[in-house]
């Protein structure tokens, strides 16, 4: 009869066998465990008796780096009071309260998960995989946009003209307006310029209040005019690319969660007062995670050493479109290809596929920056990739009709232009042009140059690319090789019969 023993009973039997004088190795082999396991059973049996042979928790009795209970309670209290605070923000305030024993951010995260205050989520990408950019100093670039969501008791919705400094995340503009038209937006911009000074660049999206890039008019809007009068370079994002202005978009999320969430205001003045108070707290008190938990005003104060430039304010008159071109040093026009690129001095520069077929102006600044303009608005900027010595030829505008000059002397060779717009000479292809397809041109060899001409006018010249030893074959067929027809001359049936007759007669039989 078989009796099934429990785990504790089997371990107790092994301990009794060893205590009875049997070798530990023999007992370990019989029970299928190691000698170290048998010795551990003996120590636990000697310490606590048969109860020590049962399976226990692997949790250590003590943890020297465990978060103290007081700090853990403080973490829970902060999270319950501020539901929008995460482990980084809570850890920042704990470091201020407990400078000597503040826990690490990972410990704060585990505490919040352990108490069920946040749900653990797997990060899709590593933090190092996120590519972020920012300007190196304050007042170099502002990001501006318009957001809604401000509700009044009478049912109307207000708009906020927002603007932040790219380097410091300092809120430079937070103005409420009933309608986001050109005049209120530009008035908010002028107020920000008078308060903080004139930045070098302003980045916006393609809204009609900011640019006429996709509008029906050909002139510039009031926003562009203010930027031009104050020497500000206006940058635009690509269509359907909100991540380019990601900092101001993230600022909108903060405003909605901390100011507008579940609130209805009685009037525009009340809403503006609340927004101004929050903006002052955001700039002066609230630490920003994107800049290392530093107050935005601390970074923005570095730009206050320079006196602000005077602001050019426009007269309150009708908005007349201006046709003034942007200040350029050297400018040339190019047509954007189907791939969204242009060619300058033998190098391709990206513009955008949305401008395929459009004409743009290309400028090269003295500092080596290639700027591409469309309707007076800067579209893209690139570092110069071509050699400066190749620029003089690029500044010459391409004529609509090719200029011709008399052909030079030389032995002419006639060639037919193929479907690709090229001819073959000495086993090498030379480009002529698509407009000369299926036409006959003359090829002349003058020194180290192959010249192509037609009707006494030079079309194009190329440097010699063929093998010079094969030129005699090209000059031996000045009119080209004769075309081979598919139907070759073959003797007919009667001719074949007449040829076979002598052979048959020679055999003696017909």
Measured in whole angstroms, the distance separating CA 144 from the mean position of its chain's CA atoms is 19
Give tens-digit pLDDT for 197-213: 999 999 999 999 999 88
Which residues lie below 8 Å from residue 393, measured CB to CB, with a gap of 6+?
Answer: 345
Tracing tokens 């009037």 back to the chain, one arrives at: 267
Output the six-digit token pair for 381. 């900027």
pLDDT band at 435 (very low <50, low <70, confident <90, very high): confident
Give tens-digit pLDDT for 238-279: 888 888 999 999 999 999 999 998 899 999 999 999 999 999
Strand, coil or helix: what is 234? Answer: strand
Question: CA-CA distances (angstroms) from residue 67 to 89, 150, 489?
Answer: 17, 42, 102
Annotate 112-170 with DSSP letters as a single string. Answer: HHHTTSS-----SS-GGG------SSTTSEEEEEEEEEEEBTTS-EEEEEEEEETTT--
Tell whether the model's pLDDT for residue 367 goes beyond 80. no
* Cα atoms in the Cβ-side hemisphere of radius 13 Å centred on 19: 11
Which one has a higher pLDDT value, 186 or 359? 186
What average pLDDT does the segment 448-477 reach?
80
Which one has a higher pLDDT value, 204 or 401? 204
pLDDT band at 222 (very low <50, low <70, confident <90, very high): very high
Output the six-digit token pair for 186. 């530009």
Output the six-digit token pair for 252. 């909108």
What average pLDDT does the segment 107-128 reach?
81
Tell whether the model's pLDDT for residue 485 goes beyond 90. no
Question: CA-CA distances (angstroms) from residue 36 to 14, 33, 42?
Answer: 13, 8, 10
Give tens-digit pLDDT for 75-94: 899 998 888 888 888 888 88
**pLDDT on residue 281:** 94
**pLDDT on residue 324:** 43
**pLDDT on residue 400:** 44
Most confident of 61-70, 160-169, 326-335, 396-405: 160-169
Give the integer Cα–Cα distance in Å for 41 and 54. 10
Tell whether the model's pLDDT for residue 104 goes beyond 50. yes
pLDDT band at 337 (very low <50, low <70, confident <90, very high): confident
- Parallel/antiparallel/unpaired status of strands 157-165 and 141-151: antiparallel
What average pLDDT does the segment 38-57 reach?
88
Tell whether the model's pLDDT for residue 414 goes beyond 70. yes
**pLDDT on residue 268:** 94
pTM assigned to the model: 0.53
pLDDT band at 448 (very low <50, low <70, confident <90, very high): confident
Give tens-digit pLDDT for 301-327: 876 555 555 666 655 544 444 444 444
Tell whether the model's pLDDT for residue 136 goes beyond 60. yes
pLDDT band at 330 (very low <50, low <70, confident <90, very high): low
Cβ contact 142:166 at 8 Å: yes
What average pLDDT does the segment 360-385 reach?
80
What average pLDDT does the segment 55-61 reach?
79
Least confident of 4-18, 149-163, 471-485: 471-485
Give the integer Cα–Cα distance in Å for 278 and 261. 13
**pLDDT on residue 496:** 42
**pLDDT on residue 488:** 46
What does the CA dihedral 72, 75, 81, 86 come to, rounded to 10 degrees?
-150
Give the integer Cα–Cα distance in Å for 457 and 442. 10
Strand, coil or helix: what is 12? Answer: helix
Cβ contact 377:234 at 8 Å: yes
What average pLDDT does the segment 59-81 reach?
84
User: How would you class 108 by CB atoms within 10 Å of its CB: exposed for 0-12, middle for 13-18, buried for 19 or more?
Assistant: buried
Give tens-digit pLDDT for 419-432: 888 888 888 888 88
What average pLDDT does the segment 84-111 reach?
85
């Amino acid at each position: 009869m078989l009796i099934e023993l429990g785990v504790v009973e089997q371990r107790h039997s092994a301990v009794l066998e060893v205590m009875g004088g049997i070798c530990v190795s023999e007992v370990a082999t019989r029970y299928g465990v190691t000698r170290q396991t048998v010795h551990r059973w003996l120590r636990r049996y000697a310490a606590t008796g048969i109860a020590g042979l049962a399976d226990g928790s692997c949790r250590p009795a003590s943890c020297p780096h465990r978060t103290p209970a007081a700090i853990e309670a403080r973490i829970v209290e902060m999270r319950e009071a501020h539901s929008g605070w995460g482990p980084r923000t809570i850890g920042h305030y704990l470091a201020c309260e407990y400078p000597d024993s503040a826990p690490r951010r990972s410990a704060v995260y585990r505490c919040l998960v352990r108490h069920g205050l946040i749900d653990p989520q797997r990060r899709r990408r590593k933090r190092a995989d996120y590519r972020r950019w920012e300007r190196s100093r304050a007042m170099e670039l502002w990001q501006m946009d318009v957001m809604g969501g401000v509700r009044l008791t009478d049912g109307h919705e207000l708009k906020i003209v927002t603007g932040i400094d790219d380097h410091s995340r300092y809120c430079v503009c937070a103005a409420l307006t009933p309608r986001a038209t050109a005049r209120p937006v530009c008035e908010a911009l002028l107020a920000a310029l008078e308060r903080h000074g004139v930045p070098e660049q302003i980045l916006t999206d393609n809204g009609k209040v900011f640019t006429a890039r996709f509008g029906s008019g050909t002139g510039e809007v009031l926003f562009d005019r203010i930027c031009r009068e104050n020497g500000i370079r206006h940058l635009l994002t690509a269509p359907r690319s909100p991540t380019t202005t990601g900092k101001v978009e993230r600022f909108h999320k903060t405003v909605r969660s901390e100011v507008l969430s579940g609130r209805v205001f009685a009037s525009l003045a009340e809403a503006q007062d609340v927004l101004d108070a929050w903006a002052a707290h955001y700039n002066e008190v609230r630490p920003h995670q994107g800049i290392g938990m530093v107050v935005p005003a601390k970074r923005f104060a570095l730009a206050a050493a320079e006196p602000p430039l005077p602001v050019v304010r426009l007269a309150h008159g009708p908005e007349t479109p201006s046709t003034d071109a942007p200040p350029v040093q050297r400018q040339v026009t190019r047509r954007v290809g189907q791939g969204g690129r242009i060619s300058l001095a033998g190098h391709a520069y990206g513009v955008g596929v949305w401008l395929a077929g459009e004409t743009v102006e290309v400028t090269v600044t003295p500092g080596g920056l290639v700027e591409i303009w469309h309707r007076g608005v800067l579209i893209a900027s690139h570092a110069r990739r071509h050699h400066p010595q190749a620029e003089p030829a690029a500044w010459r505008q391409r004529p609509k009709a090719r200029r011709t000059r008399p052909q030079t002397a030389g032995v002419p060779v006639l060639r037919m232009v193929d479907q690709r717009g090229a001819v073959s000479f000495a086993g090498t292809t030379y480009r002529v042009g698509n407009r000369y397809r299926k036409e006959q041109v003359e090829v002349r060899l003058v020194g180290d140059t192959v010249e192509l001409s037609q009707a006494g006018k030079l079309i194009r010249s190329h440097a010699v690319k063929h093998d010079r030893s094969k030129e005699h074959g090209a000059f031996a067929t000045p009119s080209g090789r004769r075309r081979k027809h598919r139907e070759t001359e073959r003797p007919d049936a009667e001719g074949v019969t007449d040829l076979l007759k002598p052979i048959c007669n020679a055999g003696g039989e017909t």
